[in-house]
Every structure is written in structure tokens, then in C-alpha cells.
Structure 1
Amino acid sequence: MRIVLVGPPGAGKGTQAAYLAKNLAIPHISTGDLFRANMSQGTPLGQQAKEYMNAGRLVPDSVTIGMAEDRMRQEDAAGGFLLDGFPRNLAQAEALDAFLKADGMALDAVLDLEVPEDEVVKRIAGRRTCRTDSSHTFHVIYSPPKQEGVCDKCGGELYQREDDSEDTVRKRLEVYHSETEPIIDHYKAQGLVVTISALGKVAEVTGRAMEAIAAQAA
């Protein structure tokens, strides 16, 4: 199966992508992983991306598209894949359409994870990270530390990252609405979009997603 996963920041895309890819026995292809792999391996595309990032500039679509196409051509993706974070805008979606068509392939579903905006803000703005070890994370509502402001694991100070502040989250949502949401209409016109609620426990959301994908593919 070939699936695109979309949804606003805080919808749980990364978590769901990992579970869905495992259940469907297809590789999980995320934009973040593509960038890290290409830059660490020193590929031409990775070097280009690094130059843009070091200069404080946005990496152009052509570089991101090139990385995604290279990854989708790899042997383990021959039977399908789950794309997470790509396509991020209409230009990338149109490039993906052209790539698949040229190779005689097509998407099976575009899974849209739906979360109310206030819930997104609550999920992200409530995160707290340990200054001593950033892998230690908590949430003021969903997984609070035993002592406020103190990491349970090492006693380090917990703080709110700048990226997790409410103002930053709302700006990220504005970007999502303006740049990424249009791809949902693009794929709706192709009859590919299935929308599910991303509220509830992780396993519940995964179950809904698997049912929606199965129904779309039937």
C-alpha cells in the first residue's frame, strides 16, 4: 500500500506512522529522517540541504522532492510506503503525483488526522523538557512529573522549549492551514482522502486508521 499521512502539528503523526507502517509491513518515510540520513551520509542532496540550512534559508522543494523520490525508489519501498511530512505543499503533491504516474504507481489513501486547534495547542504547549537530558519529556496534563518543574528521572530542571510555546504553536498552525491543508483538497478531488479523529488513546486512533485504510482500499 502507498499512503500519505497528513494532519496538523500535535496530531500524533509520527507515533501513528510508526504503528501503521509496522501493521502494514511497509517502510515509514518521514521528512525528518530523509534530511538526517542524506546529511549524515553526505549525499549531494544532503550537502545542498545543509548549505541552505547553515545559511538560515529554507530548503527548496526540489531538494526535498529529490530526497523523497530517491527513498521511494529503494528496494524496501517497492511494495509500498507510508509518507509522513511529505508532501507538505501543493508543489510537492504535484511532484509526487508525477513521480508515481511515471513509475506506473498510485496512492491508495491519504489519511487525514483531525484534531481541534485548541487540543493541538494544549498538547504541544503542555510539553516540558529536561534541561539535563532532552530525551526526558513530560506533559503538564497527560504525563506530569511527580514534582512540578523537576525531572523524575534525573532531577534536572523541566522547561518549556521555545518551539512549544503557545505563540509558536499558533504560528505553526497558520503555516499548516496555508501551506499543507490545500493538499487535502487536492487529494479529495482524486477520491483518496479518509479523515479520522486523532483524539483518544494511541491504540484507538491506530484502530480507526487501519479500518479507514482498509475501507478505502476495498
Structure 2
Amino acid sequence: MLNLVLFGPPGAGKGTQSQKLIDEYQLVHISTGDLFRAHISNQTELGQRVSKLIAEGELVPDSITIAMLEEEIDKNPDARGFIFDGFPRTVAQAEALDSFLESKGTDITGVIALDVNEEELTDRIAKRKAVSNRVDDDSEKLKKRIAEYFDKTIHVLPYYEKQGKLKKVDGIGEIGVIFEEIKGIIDGLKVSQSKG
């Protein structure tokens, strides 16, 4: 099973590369943002709890996020693998994901971090906003999300580095060229996985 975590700040190209990886390797895409929205709109028990927390300006606790994630994985027993987008954001979440996957007889195959500097991110998002006018591209919200990535989320990378699973890719350049580099990494991981 091929389980990937795609890391990178907002605007790094995670969405674009995720879609290409899903098509290439027939992976199930799990985005915590999408899960939250689906649970909220379907008024599930978890969705109602998330809705209440968000309305109160609280962060959604790991236990709820992980419960949603586990449910999503269980819904796809025949999956060839998963690509995790927007998760894990903390070391505690990474540990919880590891132990859950272990209970399913699998693990994270590799973690790919798209390296893009803040200047390039700001430039890309300004262009993206002009073209697609995404709600989450509001400059204040965005500064917050970029800051959160560099202040908090980036600290998850050493956790995977210690496991020998982290690969960094320069996220600046042609989309196709970046994808080929990521594909080369994944194909290498698959070879070592089959030997293991």
C-alpha cells in the first residue's frame, strides 16, 4: 500500500501535485478540510461538534480530526493507498496517524515536502486570486495560514526525517518537471517497499 503525506505551505502547489499523484497511482485523497466540510454539511455527530467549535473560534481537537480520518480510511478497504493533505499538522497527529495505520497493517510510505519561499508563495497566491478568486486567498487569512505553516506545521518534518521518510522537492519551477521529480521519489519508495 502506498501512503503519502504531501507537505507544503499554502500556494506551494499541493493541490495540483496531489491531483496528478491520485491520477498516476490511483490513490484515495484525504483532505481534512474536505472531511470537515462534508461532516458539517451532512450534520453528522462529528460535524455538529466541529461546527460548534468553529463557531466559538476554537481549534478542532486532534481526537475529532483523527476520528474523521479513521472513518474515511475504513470506508476504502480496497484502496491502493492514500494521500494525506493538510494532515498531520502536529507531531501528536503524526504519532496518532502512525499508530492507526499500524493497527491496519500499513504505514506512511513517504513524506514529500514542497519547498517554496514566502516571497514566491505571496506572488503565486496574488496571481491565483486574480484568476480564480478563491475565498481562502484573502491576504490577511493567508498571511495567518503561511505563518502557521512556518511556525507550527513545519515542526512535523523532523519527526518523519528521523524515520527516514522525508524527501524535499524544490516547489519552484514547471509543474510537470516538479511532478516528474516527485514521481521518481515515489517509484524509488515503492521499490524499497517491495524489497522490505
User: TM-score under structure 2 normalisation?
Assistant: 0.88
Note the C-alpha offset of 1:196. Answer: 0.8
Note the C-alpha offset of 1:17. Answer: 0.7
Identical residues among aligned pairs (%): 41
- C-alpha distance in 2 between matches for 1:113 and 1:81: 18
Letter in 2 for 1:164: D
Note the C-alpha offset of 1:47. Answer: 1.2
Note the C-alpha offset of 1:79. Answer: 2.6
Note the C-alpha offset of 1:75. Answer: 2.4
- C-alpha distance in 2 between matches for 1:24 and 1:178: 32
Quick check: 1:27–1:77 contact (8 Å CA) kept in 2? no
Letter in 2 for 1:38: H
- Pick the structure with greater CA Rg: 1
Query: Can you give the 5+ residue segments of structure 1 that lack an aligned partner in the other structure?
Result: 130-135, 139-159
- C-alpha distance in 2 between matches for 1:45 and 1:161: 24
Aligned counterpart, 2:152: 179
Note the C-alpha offset of 1:174. Answer: 2.1
C-alpha spacing 1:161/1:63, structure 2 compared with 1 (3 Å): closer
C-alpha spacing 1:49/1:161, structure 2 compared with 1 (3 Å): closer
C-alpha spacing 1:127/1:78, structure 2 compared with 1 (3 Å): closer
Asked if residue 164 in structure 1 is aligned to residue 143 in structure 2, the reply is no
Quick check: 2:4–2:111 contact (8 Å CA) kept in 1? yes
C-alpha spacing 1:126/1:62, structure 2 compared with 1 (3 Å): same
2:167 is aligned, of 194, 203, 213, to 194
1:1-218 matched pairs, under 5 angstroms = 1-75=2-76, 78-128=79-129, 137=132, 163-165=137-139, 168-218=141-191
Q: List structure 1 segments (4+ residues) > 6 angstroms apart after TM superposition.
A: none
- C-alpha distance in 2 between matches for 1:199 and 1:12: 9
Q: Secondary structure, in 3 states, of the residue corresponding to 2:145? A: helix
User: TM-score under structure 1 normalisation?
Assistant: 0.79
Quick check: 1:88–1:180 contact (8 Å CA) kept in 2? yes
Note the C-alpha offset of 1:128. Answer: 3.4
- C-alpha distance in 2 between matches for 1:67 and 1:162: 22
Q: Secondary structure, in 3 states, of the residue corresponding to 1:23? A: helix
C-alpha spacing 1:119/1:186, structure 2 compared with 1 (3 Å): same
C-alpha spacing 1:162/1:209, structure 2 compared with 1 (3 Å): closer
C-alpha spacing 1:89/1:190, structure 2 compared with 1 (3 Å): same
- C-alpha distance in 2 between matches for 1:10 and 1:35: 21
Quick check: 1:194–1:216 contact (8 Å CA) kept in 2? no
C-alpha spacing 1:161/1:45, structure 2 compared with 1 (3 Å): closer
Query: Can you give the 5+ residue segments of structure 2 that lack an aligned partner in the other structure?
Result: 192-196
Q: Secondary structure, in 3 states, of the residue corresponding to 1:128? A: helix
Q: CA RMSD in A?
A: 2.1
Letter in 2 for 1:197: D
Note the C-alpha offset of 1:171. Answer: 3.3
Quick check: 1:162–1:168 contact (8 Å CA) kept in 2? yes
Aligned residue pair count: 190
Point out which structure has higher relative CO (alpha carbons under 8 A, 6+ apart): 2
